[in-house]
Amino acid sequence: MIERLQKYLSGAGVDSRRKCEELILQGQVWVNNTIVTKLGTKIDPQKDTVEVKGKLIKYKEKKYYSYILLNKPKGYLTSLSDPFGRPIVLDLLKDIKERVYPIGRLDFNSEGLLILTNDGELTHALTHPSKEVEKVYIVKVKGIPSSEKLKTLSKGVTLKSNYKISPCNIYLLKITNGNAILKMKIREGKKRQIRKMSEYIGHFVLKLRRTQLGPISLKGVKPGEYRYLNKEEIKSLKKII
């Protein structure tokens, strides 16, 4: 079956589709002993020879995918490795034999819902801006932002260095010990977006937890624990592709 090179690579478990596209553009992918740098190049996995960084990528007739829901605790990197030896989310999946990758990321001091999979096509869909997949966060900020400030954020703002934030939904859930607990629903996934939004209105984030990604909820999974997604959950995610 003819398919695009980056889709084949992600499906073979090389990395997420976006990372595979970067490998192609960097000239690290060979097809039939020839470097390929053009995205969208089509191949026949049963006939063509594909190599990444000199390693042969073998064609597999059928790929079995794994989908894991992790409640990431604070103090773990959403990364496959760390040169400084800091804890990574894969350290929490010691009983998982499959090689899986995080969909998106939560920074070191953030916690909550993280999906890991070896399904490159799904990873691409859930992280691509055009899909506008909703993400829900519970955010504790220092102090109590006024309704005017929250309204300003919800309409969309432009931060420093032309960092544009699209309109979103923000709700004040409660006030505790002089600090506010907010629920924020966004359809973007920019780096440190929630923290930068909060800083924009003068209220620094004290705690950040993601509770939902698309149709998938964190409910029932304790910090540091994980489970496989069930068939209905996987089906609901596939609708996004």
Average pLDDT of the segment spanning 94-115: 93
**Residue 39 banded pLDDT, cuts 50, 70, 90:** very high
Who has greater pLDDT, 98 or 157?
157
pLDDT in tens, 174-229: 999 999 999 999 999 888 999 999 999 999 999 999 999 999 999 999 999 999 99
CATH level 3 topology of 67-130+216-238: Alpha-Beta Plaits (3.30.70)
Q: According to the model, what pLDDT value does residue 212 have?
A: 97
Q: Please report which confidence band the pLDDT of residue 60 belongs to, taking 50, 70 and 90 as the band edges.
A: low
Residue 231's H or E segment, with its range, is helix 231-238
Average pLDDT, the chain: 93
Alpha-carbon distance of 6 to 15, in angstroms, equals: 10
Query: Which stretch, 62-66, 102-106, 136-140, has highest mean pLDDT?
Result: 136-140
What ranges do the domains of the chain cover?
A: 3-57, 67-130+216-238, 134-213
Listed residue (195, 189, 51) closest to 109, CA to CA: 195
Q: Is the pTM here over 0.85, yes or no?
A: no
Give Cα separations from 83 to 2, 16, 21, 231, 234 (angstroms).
38, 21, 24, 36, 33
Mean pLDDT calculated for residue range 124-130? 90
Q: Is the pLDDT of residue 62 over 60?
A: no
Classified as helix, coil or strand, 160 is: helix
pLDDT at 106: 94
- With 0-12 / 13-18 / 19 or more C-beta atoms within 10 angstroms meaning exposed / middle / buried, residue 26 is exposed
**CA 205 to chain centroid:** 20
CATH code, 3-57? 3.10.290.10
What's the CATH architecture for 134-213? 2-Layer Sandwich (3.30)
Residue 110: pLDDT above 80? yes
- For the stretch 135-156, pLDDT in tens is 999 999 999 999 999 999 999 9
Closest by CA to 69, choosing from 192, 219, 235, 208, is: 219
Catalytic (active-site) positions: 107
Nearest to 116 by CA among 77, 78, 160: 78
**Same-fold call for 3-57 versus 67-130+216-238:** no
